[in-house]
């Protein structure tokens, strides 16, 4: 499609939501720092964009598409059959049916959480889409090709907007995958022996190292800094 590409590295949410209303084909937004929030109810689109998020917008008269290249955003959108909204994350597709929902695309997982309304989540173009309703979450594991669903409390959907994440009985590998969003440039390895250990606690999105430092007190693990700059999390012997 024709159009131009423009990159904005530090957009405000008000700017970003206004641009959603009149976005040019292929326009790119990159947000590299802390989460940004919108208090305006005038825009029916992005309400919050998380740290280290890169997205592109492609709006036409008949369809609205947000391409989420990495990171996380929370969207509120009214139903509009004449101009549906889609979120594309690689080959995966989320079709919006009038809702408030959150999408996170990280290294290992693609996660869709619904606050209200419905979305059709299609992580694999070859498979049938999964319909998610209010207070439901679906997590797609890229490596395993598996989709897991769970029920949430309303407060758990996009709780990162408050600056703090609460988690309970969370698999360690899944938690570290989300934490990596707040440590750009860092790479983690979670040994298979500890990947499925369950952990509960809180994460300050502005201080992710605090959780890393606390892990050995929460689980029988240790963190090891590798020569290539990666951080490995392995069993503590």
Identify the band that residue 27 occupies on the pLDDT scale cut at 50, 70 and 90. low
If you search the block for the tokens 């909204």, which residue do you land on?
A: 85
**Can you tell me the mean pLDDT for 206-216?**
92
Inter-residue contact 35 to 50 (CB < 8 Å): yes
Identify the band that residue 211 occupies on the pLDDT scale cut at 50, 70 and 90. very high
Nearest 5 degrees, angle CA 25-CA 74-CA 50?
90
Q: What are phi and psi of 130, to 5 degrees?
A: -105, 125
User: Mean pLDDT, the chain, as a whole number?
Assistant: 81
CA dist 5 → 18, 40, 49, 57, 67 (Å): 17, 26, 20, 10, 13
- CATH code assigned to 7-156: 2.60.120.1440
Q: Is the pLDDT of residue 3 over 50?
A: no
| pTM of the predicted protein model | 0.80
More confident residue, 6 or 182: 182
- Domains of the chain, by residue range, sit at 7-156, 163-235
> Is 163-235 a CATH 3.55.50.30 domain?
yes
Q: Is the pLDDT of residue 111 over 90?
A: yes
Q: Is the pLDDT of residue 235 over 90?
A: yes
């Amino acid at each position: 499609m024709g159009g131009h590409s423009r990159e904005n590295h530090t957009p405000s949410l008000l700017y970003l939501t206004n641009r959603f209303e009149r976005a040019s084909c292929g326009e790119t937004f990159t947000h590299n720092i802390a989460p940004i929030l919108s208090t305006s109810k005038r825009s029916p689109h992005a309400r919050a964009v998380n740290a280290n998020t890169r997205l592109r917008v492609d709006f036409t008269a008949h369809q609205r598409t947000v391409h989420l290249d990495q990171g996380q955003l929370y969207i509120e959108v009214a139903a509009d059959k004449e101009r549906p909204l889609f979120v594309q994350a690689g080959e995966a597709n989320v079709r919006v049916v009038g809702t408030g929902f959150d999408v996170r695309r990280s290294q290992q997982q693609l996660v869709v959480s619904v606050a209200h309304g419905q979305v059709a989540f299609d992580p694999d173009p070859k498979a049938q889409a999964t319909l998610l309703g209010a207070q439901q979450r679906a997590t797609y594991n890229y490596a395993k090709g598996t989709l897991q669903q769970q029920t949430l409390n309303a407060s758990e959907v996009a709780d990162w907007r408050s600056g703090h994440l609460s988690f309970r009985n969370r698999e360690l590998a899944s938690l570290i995958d989300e934490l990596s969003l707040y440590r750009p440039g860092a790479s983690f390895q979670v040994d298979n022996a500890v990947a499925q250990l369950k952990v509960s606690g809180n994460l300050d999105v502005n201080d992710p190292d605090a959780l890393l430092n606390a892990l050995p007190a929460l689980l029988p693990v240790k963190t090891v800094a590798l020569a290539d700059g990666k951080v490995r999390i392995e069993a503590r012997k």
